[in-house]
């Protein structure tokens, strides 16, 4: 028999005993101090760290919050000895960090409690009223975390039998309905066994599939399961919109066919969760191979009661999330850094977590907890995420291949007052999270606004590497020679505009994307470009920031505004210039810029290049705005 005294236990068994102690502790408090106190009591330690009794390990010199070597110049951190009569050590590891992968786990991730981000009372009210409804949100905003937290709430003693199931596993079945139903029922069976220790679906699903086939198996299984249980059954279906064609139609119609038997003979409530708004599933113009036609999703699932959207973080929630890191590690965020994160992300949950993770854990300097996180660290993190083309941003760029997405995005890039997209197109890109959920048609946040032009111009910028050297436009003192750069662009645009504008497929956005690529090739060698654009603005604003001689970019850079406007068929060049000067002056004042450039693209085919290409210097007594014709 093994002695219960911890020091008498082998190292591996002691680790298991300690993990059980942690698991038994109720650590799911929203209050950080309560959480830490609870963990400390379970682990028998003091402070915001988890102590694991381990066999001797070479931990001397490791950063206690990252388990990596400390930044250069930081004091070494020794392991903490344990006075138990043996040579053991407390392996000190960080408690939590920022989550960018999968559902949130409050024991290892900083988080905003998922059910605080939705109207919890409304959801519970809909469940009590036996409603089938929809929860939708863009990818990586917390849908799965919310569903799982809801399942925990509904499965409380005296409540419901609630099962979460991820239907993405059925995507590879495509339109093979029997195979899709086999996989989906397997997913429900597995989740029910893990979450509820209920094996009913596991025991009956194969027989039901044999008897009723794929087009009836889901309906019959859920009906029999509901009748076999005293508690009402609630089904939470995640990633519903990953199913395709006949498989999706079959799921929706089988749910609809059984809903009249609820709650005794069918799930009392079903929540469908996905990226797209499935209200009446109208966005799903599903092509059925069996029927050889498009089937309206609304005809397959017209029983929903509500469509709820999970929003982004509020500014207060961003501050609260970052505050958890400060509370647990002591590392402060400077006020400007918190504001910068909000400014760059506007609360998009994945972006908020990704910037903070990069700045505090992946950036070597940021691992030094004695150093506050400042604006430069956040700006470095932003550029790193964009340059690495992390999965989240890469998926975003991939959406540009869809015609209905480009119909909305291209007029935005041009600031066009004319557009051809439909209301359905706009709803679709809003649901994807690419465009702001409401208000002016603009990109959802500044990071997305930066990624989209970079993605669209990547091929052109690659071709510019052999034609344009950034060093040509930087003087001996390190200053950016913007007049020389724009003068060279005029020549490039005259020679290459026709082919590139045609490739971009939008007569107004195309010229501006050519300029974006040219500027980006030079400016990003040492400076930064910030873009601002939206439908119906009649212009696109670019803010070029360049470091002053001998100073870092983060230290009060030189700022130049570049305003882009297009001369259309029914407008005059002089009226466009007059309006553009006024807009450029306002934007300069807003940004605190030292100078402004108004770039006018004259797309009227009857005009010669000699008429289109010109330079007008600032007029005496007027704002320092130079007009460049292209």
Write out pLDDT tens, residues 443-463. Answer: 899 999 888 888 888 888 888
Contact predicate 381/346, CB 8 Å: no
Residue 482 has pLDDT above 50, yes or no: yes
Give the pLDDT score at 437: 85
CA 626 to chain centre: 38
Question: Is 627 strand, coil or helix?
Answer: strand
pLDDT at 291: 53
Show Cβ contacts of residue 50 under 8 Å, excluding neighbours closer than 6 positions.
Answer: 22, 39, 43, 92, 93, 95
Same domain assignment for residues 142 and 199:
yes
Does residue 588 share a domain with residue 467?
yes
Predicted pLDDT at 359: 97
pLDDT of 136 over the 50 cut? yes
**Do 460 and 510 fall into the same domain?**
yes
CA distances from 391 to 329, 397, 432 (A): 28, 10, 15
The H helix count followed by the E strand count for the chain is: 22, 16
Which domain-ending residue is among 309, 331, 354? 309
Please state the domain count of the chain.
4
User: 538: pLDDT confidence band, cut at 50, 70 and 90?
Assistant: low
Work out the mean pLDDT of the chain and round it to a whole number. Answer: 81
Q: Is residue 492 part of a domain?
A: yes
Residues 305 and 249 both lie in one domain: yes
One domain, residues 293 and 183: yes
**Residues 78 and 159 both lie in one domain:** no
Tell me the pLDDT tens digit for each residue of 397-414: 778 888 888 888 888 887
Q: Using 50, 70 and 90 to split pLDDT, how confident is the model at 106?
A: very high
Separation between Cα atoms, residue 196 and residue 54, nearest integer Å: 34
Please answer whether residues 76 and 61 qualify as being in contact, where contact means their C-beta atoms are separated by less than 8 angstroms.
yes
- Residue 427 maps to a domain: no
* CATH code for the domain in which residue 357 is found: 1.10.8
Encode pLDDT of 310-366 as tens digits: 889 999 999 999 999 999 999 999 989 999 999 999 999 999 999 999 999 999 999
Tens digit of pLDDT for each residue in 202-257? 999 999 999 999 999 999 999 999 999 999 999 999 999 899 889 999 999 999 99
Whether residue 51 is predicted with pLDDT greater than 70 in this model: the reply is: no
pLDDT given for residue 303 in this prediction: 62
Residue 17 lies in a domain: yes
Place of tokens 């439908």: 535
Q: What is the pLDDT of residue 606?
A: 87
Higher pLDDT, 51 or 367: 367
Question: Regarding predicted confidence, which is higher, 422 or 504?
Answer: 422
What pTM, to 2 d.p., does this model score? Answer: 0.78
The label of the residue with tokens 């939008």 reads 506
- Contact yes or no for 540/514 (Cβ under 8 A): no
Over residues 556-585, mean pLDDT: 89
pLDDT band at 277 (very low <50, low <70, confident <90, very high): low
Q: Judge whether 533 and 412 are in contact, CB under 8 Å.
A: yes
C-alpha span between 534 and 526 (Å, rounded): 27
Do 59 and 122 lie in one domain? The reply is: no
- Residue 475: phi and psi, rounded to 5, are -80, 180
> What mean pLDDT is predicted for residues 524-550?
79
Q: Is the pLDDT of residue 197 over 60?
A: yes
Structure confidence at residue 60 (pLDDT): 36
At residue 127, the pLDDT reads: 95
- 59 pLDDT tier (thresholds 50, 70, 90): very low
Among 116-130, 403-417, 426-440, the range with the most confident prediction by mean pLDDT is 116-130
My answer on whether 471 and 607 are in the same domain is yes
Q: What DSSP assignment string belongs to 340-365? A: HHHHHHTT-HHHHHHHHHIIIIISTG
| Neighbour count for residue 352 (Cβ, 10 Å) | 25
| 625, β-bridge pairs | 596
In tens, the pLDDT along 579-595 reads 999 999 998 998 889 89
- Is residue 163 over pLDDT 60? yes
Position with higher pLDDT, 484 vs 278: 484
CA atoms of 131 and 227, how far apart (whole Å): 18
**Minimum mean pLDDT among 258-272, 350-364, 426-440, 572-586: which range?**
426-440
DSSP, collapsed to helix, strand or coil, labels residue 562 as strand
The distance in angstroms from the start CA to the end CA of the chain is 87
Is the domain of 323 the same as that of 299? no
Assess whether 16 and 152 both reside in one domain: no
Position 73 in a domain: yes
Q: Is the pLDDT of residue 75 over 60?
A: no
| Domain assignment present for 222 | yes
Omega before 263 cis (within 30°)? Answer: yes
Does residue 552 contact residue 454 with C-beta atoms inside 8 Å?
A: no
Q: Which of 354, 388, 422 is the last residue of a domain?
A: 388
Residues 6+ apart with CB under 8 A from 183: 169, 170, 173
The domain in which residue 18 lies consists of 6-90
Average pLDDT over residues 497-516: 83
What CATH number does residue 196 fall under? 3.30.370.10
How far, CA to CA in Å, does 293 sit from each of 245, 249, 283, 371? 10, 12, 16, 62
**Residue 555: pLDDT above 90?**
no
Q: Single out the residue in 260, 293, 309 at which a domain terminates.
A: 309
User: Does residue 104 form part of some domain?
Assistant: no
The rounded distance, in Å, linking the Cα atoms of 160 and 210 is: 29
Q: What is the pLDDT of residue 65?
A: 38
The answer to whether residue 490 sits within a structural domain is yes
Are residues 465 and 444 part of one domain?
A: yes
Give the Cα separation of 34 and 327 in Å (integer).
Answer: 12
Residues 479 and 598 in one domain: yes
Q: Of residues 284 and 103, which shows the higher confidence score?
A: 103
Residue 212 resides in a domain: yes
């Amino acid at each position: 028999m093994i002695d219960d005294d911890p020091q008498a236990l082998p190292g591996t068994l002691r680790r298991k005993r300690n993990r059980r102690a942690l698991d038994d502790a109720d650590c799911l408090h929203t209050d950080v101090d309560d959480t830490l106190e609870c963990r400390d009591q379970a682990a028998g330690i003091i402070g915001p760290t988890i102590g694991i009794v381990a066999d001797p390990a070479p931990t001397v010199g490791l950063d206690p919050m990252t388990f990596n070597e400390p930044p250069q110049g930081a004091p070494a951190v020794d392991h903490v000895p344990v006075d138990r009569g043996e040579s053991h050590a407390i392996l000190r590891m960080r408690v939590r960090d920022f989550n960018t992968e999968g559902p949130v786990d409050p024991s290892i991730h900083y988080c905003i409690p998922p059910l605080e981000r939705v109207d919890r009372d409304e959801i519970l009210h809909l469940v009590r009223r036996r409603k089938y409804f929809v929860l939708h949100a863009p990818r990586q905003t917390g849908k799965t975390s919310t569903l799982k937290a809801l399942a925990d709430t509904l499965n409380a003693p005296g409540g419901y039998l609630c099962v979460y199931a991820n239907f993405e596993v059925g995507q590879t079945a495509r339109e093979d309905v029997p195979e899709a139903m086999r996989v989906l029922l397997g997913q429900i069976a597995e989740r029910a066994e893990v979450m509820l220790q209920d094996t009913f679906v596991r025991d009956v699903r194969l027989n039901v599939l044999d008897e009723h086939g794929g087009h009836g198996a889901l309906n019959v299984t859920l009906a029999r399961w509901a009748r076999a249980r005293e508690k009402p059954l609630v089904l939470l279906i995640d990633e519903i919109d990953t199913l395709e064609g006949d498989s999706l139609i079959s799921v929706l119609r089988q749910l609809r066919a059984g809903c009249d038997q609820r709650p005794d003979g069918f799930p009392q409530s079903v929540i469908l969760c996905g990226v797209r708004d499935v209200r009446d599933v109208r966005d799903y113009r599903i092509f059925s191979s069996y029927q050889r036609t498009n089937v309206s999703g609304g005809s397959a699932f017209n029983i929903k009661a509500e469509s709820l959207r999970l929003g982004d973080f509020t500014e207060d929630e961003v501050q609260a999330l970052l505050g958890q890191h400060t509370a647990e590690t002591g590392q402060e965020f400077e006020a400007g850094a918190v504001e910068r994160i909000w400014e760059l992300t506007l609360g998009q949950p994945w972006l908020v977590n990704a910037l903070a993770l990069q700045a505090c854990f992946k950036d070597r300097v940021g691992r030094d907890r004695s150093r506050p996180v400042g604006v430069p660290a956040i700006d470095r993190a932003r550029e790193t995420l964009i340059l690495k083309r992390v999965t989240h941003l890469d998926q975003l760029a991939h959406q540009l291949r869809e015609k209905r997405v480009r119909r909305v995005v291209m007029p935005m890039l041009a600031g066009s007052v004319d557009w051809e997209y439909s209301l359905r197109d706009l709803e679709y890109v809003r649901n994807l999270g690419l465009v702001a959920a409401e208000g002016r048609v603009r990109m959802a946040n500044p990071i997305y606004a930066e990624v989209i032009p970079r993605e669209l111009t990547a091929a052109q910028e690659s071709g510019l590497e052999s034609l344009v050297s950034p060093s040509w436009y930087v003087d001996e003192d390190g200053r950016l020679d913007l007049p020389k750069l724009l003068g060279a662009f005029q020549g490039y645009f005259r020679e290459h505009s026709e082919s590139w504008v045609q490739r971009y497929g939008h007569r107004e956005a195309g010229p501006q994307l050519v300029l974006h690529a040219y500027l980006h090739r030079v400016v990003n060698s040492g400076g930064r470009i910030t873009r601002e654009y939206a439908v119906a603005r009649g212009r696109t604003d670019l803010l070029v920031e360049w470091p002053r001689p001998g100073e870092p970019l983060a230290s009060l850079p030189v700022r130049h505004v570049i305003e882009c406007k297009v001369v259309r068929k029914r407008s005059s060049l002089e009226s466009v210039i007059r309006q553009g000067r006024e807009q450029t002056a306002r934007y300069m004042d807003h940004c605190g810029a030292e100078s402004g450039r108004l770039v006018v693209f004259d797309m009227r085919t009857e005009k010669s290049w000699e008429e289109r290409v010109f330079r007008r210097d600032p007029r005496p007594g007027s704002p320092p705005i130079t007009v460049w014709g292209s």
